[in-house]
Amino acid sequence: DTKGLFEFVEEEYPDLSKHNNHMAKVLTKELYGKLRDKQTSSGYTLDDVIQTGIDNPGHPFIMTVGCVAGDEESYEVFKDLLDPVISDRHGGYKPTDKHKTDLNFENLKGGDDLDPNYVLSSRVRTGRSIKGYTLPPHNSRGERRAIEKLSIEALTSLEGEFKGKYYPLKSMTDAEQEQLINDHFLFDKPVSPLLTCAGMARDWPDGRGIWHNDDKTFLVWVNEEDHLRVISMQKGGNMREVFRRFCVGLQKIEEIFKKHNHGFMWNEHLGYILTCPSNLGTGLRGGVHVKLPKLSTHAKFEEILTRLRLQKRGTGGVDTASVGGVFDISNADRLGSSEVEQVQLVVDGVKLMVEMEKKLEKGEAIDSMIPAQK
Amino acid sequence: MASSFTRMISGRNTAVMMAMGAGTLASAYLLTDSTAAAAEIRRRYFPHSADYPDVRKHNNCMASALTPSIYARLSDKATPNNWTLDQCIQTGVDNPGHPFIKTVGMVAGDEESYEVFAELFDPVIKDRHNGYDPRTMKHPTDLDSSKITSGIFDERYVLSSRVRTGRSIRGLSLPPACTRSERREVERVVVTALSGLKGDLAGRYYSLGEMSDREQQHLIDEHFLFDKPVSPLLTAAGMARDWPDARGIWHNHEKNFLIWINEEDHTRVISMEKGGNMKRVFERFCKGLKQVEHLIQERGWEFMWNERLGYILTCPSNLGTGLRAGVHIRLPFLNKDPRFKKILENLRLQKRGTGGVDTAATGDTVDISNLDRLGKSEVELVQLVIDGVNYLIECEKRLERGQDIKIPSPIPPFRK
């Protein structure tokens, strides 16, 4: 009774007429009808995938993704929706494309000589998902706790520069909390409706915590928007060192998870699998806080960033404004290029922009320095 | 059933089986088999104890009643819509509560939730409704407004009178669980019925998603407009999904009978007017409800109701009558009297600010309404509010004259 089917799809299809996100642009009524009665083996459905995009119509200027994965399988079962979304978000990445992973820090050229008079701090972050568990929009309390337990075991076994301590969110003392806030390490219960509508704040703060090394240069968030968020950072411009620590630390952690038969989710098409399609591939955001008061007001600033494949943010992170001419500059790409390639772009691009800034300080023109599109 | 919306269109976590042909049906079955098999494997790695929520620091009725063994037993069950215990309690897990205010901490996803998860709902209902036992007691329903006496208040004190309740459409899932199609069906069923109202009840519908700026301003000015819920008690229960799809407000032309569609319940029905004529407010309330019920019955629909729990609504706190009858009243002397709290308690009334629940009083005007919902009929509760408010006004007058007042003896919460 195909008439019944059409009526049914008509009744269930969300009203996306006022929406501006990648999901809304891709999800036609026909596609909705095709995918509506599928689920992954953990029971995640199309409605679950798209709920956040329905509840958050978006902004005329900022294109959000509008869908999430509930498990590794989501990227397969709902590929007819997610492939076009991925393509739109990641510069035309095709379903047949292969993603290169390169976490060999020795392949990075330079990166240890960014001028600390301009580059105030350097940071690299990524996310990792633990194979065999469903993702934060969907996982049960039992799964979340198991992820926490495995993470604690992996992290607390680290030694040397990686020796550190885990602070579970639900039992940290006031003193510990104060310290973590002062170090700018503490993460809060998500308030962004992009995350809460996807169910990622359920059961807060059960199973959530923060681990960092004694040196406070390597930090892991457990069970926030992804199973793990891994951050390497330090003051100054030695991005090379930050990246080295990042790669070495990740590798050590991955070994321990693999020993428990729970390695990281990864495949050769999408790279590292994370909750939000925007973080597929490397999931890597490598960036600096850099003083560019003159360059940032130059007419060609945006053009330069685009050509260098970089993006700017305020120093409060995503969706914040810059303060005092200090910008957060990081790689724009995540999927289709490797970790080394992305950090190389940051290193080379920031070096060039600092030179431009110096030129502008001397009253000289920078037109000859403007790069070709990378 | 009235329409094609039968149990086939079930809750949001079910793979819908459409008889589209043998091939599709087979693959749909296979998908379910693999889901069931996967679920079994997961259960082996994650026994119920692994999923039991940490509610040690929580203060709500659900947390007080939920033991690990109840959790384990009920976690193997689901309603016919595939609504689970975890979904019922999520809001209570995510909202630990307040030391002074004990919230309920769980919601129903459908009518069957109250049966399938009775082992947890029953003690929660008992806790919230003064010991009412759904296993042994019956709830009286009485919407005969002619029984009301002395229902006109002194308007030097009472500024406005209002009665509200909720109604759910049997056969469609409730706001935490409903699919978009179910929610739209609720809107269709109710709006169609309301368009059949005549005379002083005739009115019109304003869809939240489609109203003009002018219409929106009009509804704000009348204090009729409701917003997307921001309270985490509601958002954590999934009631704000797909906003503003299929949400709207209907009111009669006289602006004293108002219906909210698809907010926290399928419908919230409100009768109100300025001044102290509570009897007329309740008459219109009963007449309107009866007419709407008749209109939906003509098309084969009915309200969710049973004799244990009365009218079935999303939150257990609104079971029974779902009725809150109240006034905005000025009691400058009584408000400052230390005995006021006890008087209200014994009269089984509660005070709120004039912004509604969880607001503070402005000036001397307070909102006074019935505390109870379940175990007494609508007529009994409205009469209780009328008698209580009249008593409060008497107290106020006595205090004005410098006379003493008495704390009345406590009224029992329901018929034993």
Backbone angles phi, psi at A330, to 5 degrees: -145, 170
The B residues from 198 to 257 touching A (CB cutoff 8 Å) are 209, 235-236, 240-243, 245
Q: Domain B49-129 belongs to what architecture?
A: Orthogonal Bundle (1.10)
Between CA B126 and CA B130 the distance in angstroms is: 6
Radius of gyration over alpha carbons of chain A, in Å?
21
Min Cα distance A277 → chain B (Å) is: 21
Contact A8 B184 (CB under 8 A): no
Q: Is B114 helix (H, G, I), strand (E, B) or coil?
A: helix
Contact A43 B39 (CB under 8 A): yes
C-alpha dihedral sign at A201, A202, A205, A210: negative
Tell me the chain B residues in contact with residue A204 when contact means C-beta distances shorter than 8 Å: 94
Pick from A8, A41, A143: which is nearest to B34 by CB?
A41
Residues A96-137: tens digit of each pLDDT: 999 999 999 999 999 999 999 999 999 999 999 999 999 999
Contact A42 B38 (CB under 8 A): yes
Q: What is the mean pLDDT of chain A?
A: 94
Contact A55 B15 (CB under 8 A): no
What CATH number does the domain located at B145-401 have? Answer: 3.30.590.10
Q: Is B1 near chain A, with CB under 8 Å? A: no
Contact B15 A37 (CB under 8 A): yes
Cα nearest neighbour of B93 on chain A: A203
Burial A292-309 (b: 16+ CB within 10 A, else e): bebbbebeebeebbeebb
A228-235 and A119-128 as β-strands: parallel, antiparallel, unpaired? antiparallel
Between CA B347 and CA B327 the distance in angstroms is: 15
Could you tell me the residue ranges of all domains in chain B? 49-129, 145-401
Is the model more confident about B31 or about A341? A341
Contact B15 A41 (CB under 8 A): no
Three state DSSP letters for A260-317: CCCCECEECCCEECCCCHHHCECCCEEEEEEECCCHHHCCCHHHHHHHHCEEEEECCE
What is residue A367's DSSP assignment?
G
Contact A143 B180 (CB under 8 A): no
Cα nearest neighbour of A189 on chain B: B94
Residues A183-210: tens digit of each pLDDT: 888 888 888 999 999 999 999 999 999 9
Backbone angles phi, psi at B46, to 5 degrees: -125, 85
The pLDDT of residue A4? 59
Is the model more confident about B355 or about A25? A25
Between CA A158 and CA A152 the distance in angstroms is: 10
Residue A318 pLDDT more than 90? Answer: no
Tell me the chain B residues in contact with residue A47 when contact means C-beta distances shorter than 8 Å: 12, 179
Optimal mutation site among A12, A78, A143, A194, interface B, most CBs of chain B within 10 A: A12
Q: Is B324 annotated as a binding residue?
A: yes
Tell me the chain A residues in contact with residue B236 when contact means C-beta distances shorter than 8 Å: 202
Q: Which two tokens stand for residue B308?
A: 């244990």
Q: What's the predicted TM-score (pTM) here?
A: 0.90
Three state DSSP letters for A123-166: EEEEEECECCCCCCCCCCHHHHHHHHHHHHHHHHCCCHHHCEEE
ipTM comes to 0.89
Q: Which two tokens stand for residue B388?
A: 């209580």
Residue B91 pLDDT more than 60? Answer: yes
Tell me the chain B residues in contact with residue A12 when contact means C-beta distances shorter than 8 Å: 179-181
Contact B245 A14 (CB under 8 A): yes
pLDDT level of residue B355 (50, 70, 90 thresholds): low
Residue A372 pLDDT more than 70? Answer: yes
